[in-house]
């Protein structure tokens, strides 16, 4: 008699790998700079002090795109450490080029599924802030289940943030902003820094991307949501 097989559950991913072509510079950066600034995925917790070689405020960004905004943050705030996660190799290569050009020592990069990195590599109570800026909106209703901002994800973020840590989301899709607010209402462990049911103005620390600037010229809105973990 064959043993009973356990059902296989595949987690719904919030991203699709759209692998663009690497430039020669991006390819070189991945080959030469990854050993120093890249973080390979392994299912074990990281020692962030050891990873960065110091103790400092730690900020993690999920989905940094081409890396320009994250590099700008790291350059403007050398007192902070920045851990960026992006699944697309051209963006990772581009950020590494910025790291080299601007001589940034406070950036580390992961090219892996952000949920798995958070779940298995980032210790509890270790982050001062987590940025989720312009995630894939999955705007068709049948795809809303793919949106990364869901209850289980927010609970994971809450666990990884220190007391008083900030969870900052931004989107240029109004219905996704409303979805984010609805999900966050379920968590009494967070305070909306703008007040219940309100959106925040763009803080000075969040650089405007070229994509965002182009959208605003076309009349597109942008919604920032900033929540603080209660002590």
Q: Which residues are catalytic?
A: 136
* Residue of 184, 182, 186 whose CA lies nearest to 168: 184
The Cα 54–Cα 141 span in angstroms is: 45
* Residue of 64, 174, 58 whose CA lies nearest to 124: 58
Read off φ and ψ for residue 216, nearest 5 degrees.
-65, -35
First to last CA, the chain: 54
Q: Please name the residue that has the structure tokens 């719904």.
A: 12
Interstrand relation of 107-110 and 81-85 (parallel, antiparallel or unpaired): parallel
């Amino acid at each position: 008699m064959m043993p009973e097989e356990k059902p296989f559950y595949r987690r719904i991913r919030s991203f699709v790998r759209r692998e663009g072509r690497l430039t020669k510079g991006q390819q070189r950066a991945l080959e030469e700079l990854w050993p120093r600034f890249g973080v390979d995925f392994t299912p074990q917790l990281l020692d962030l002090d050891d990873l960065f070689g110091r103790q400092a405020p730690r900020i993690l960004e999920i989905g940094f795109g081409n890396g320009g905004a994250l590099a700008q943050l790291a350059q403007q705030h050398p007192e902070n450490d920045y851990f960026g996660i992006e699944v697309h190799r051209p963006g990772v290569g581009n950020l590494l080029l910025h790291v080299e050009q601007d001589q940034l020592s406070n950036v580390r990069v992961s090219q892996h599924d952000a949920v798995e990195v958070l779940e298995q590599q980032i210790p509890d109570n270790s982050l001062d802030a987590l940025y989720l800026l312009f995630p894939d909106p999955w705007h068709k209703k049948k795809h809303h289940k793919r949106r990364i901002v869901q209850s289980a994800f927010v609970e994971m973020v809450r666990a990884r943030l220190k007391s008083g840590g900030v969870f900052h989301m931004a989107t240029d899709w109004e219905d996704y902003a409303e979805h984010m607010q609805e999900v966050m209402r379920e968590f009494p462990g967070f305070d909306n820094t703008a007040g219940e049911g309100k959106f925040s103005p763009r803080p000075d620390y969040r650089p405007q991307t070229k994509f965002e600037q182009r959208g605003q010229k076309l009349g597109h809105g942008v919604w920032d949501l900033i929540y603080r973990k209660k002590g």
